[in-house]
Amino acid sequence: MKTNMLKAVKYFGGTVLIAGIIIFCLGFFANGSSILTPIGIGTIMGAIFVFLMGLFLIVSEEMLLKAKGLSQD
């Protein structure tokens, strides 16, 4: 169960990160000022936040199960 959750968080975070990098590059390398640059930066930061929060929830669940002696490993 934890591995499935970790895979989901990893793939979702990676997908959003790649989308953010593409949006940032489109906005940064376009001529003139573009609104896409800050949107890309925000998307990248959002992807990192989602990944870290997902990782935190997985680790905290593991620690709670270990403390209660209910570890399934």
The domain limits of the chain are 2-61
**What pLDDT does 53 receive?**
95
Q: What is the pTM of this model?
A: 0.81
CA dihedral 10, 16, 20, 23 (to 10 degrees): 140
Phi–psi pair at 32, nearest 5 degrees = 75, -175
pLDDT along the chain (73 residues), means of 10: 83 95 90 83 96 92 83 59
DSSP 8-state class, residue 32 = S
**What pLDDT does 65 receive?**
84
**What pLDDT does 67 receive?**
85
Tokens for 10, please give them. 């990893």
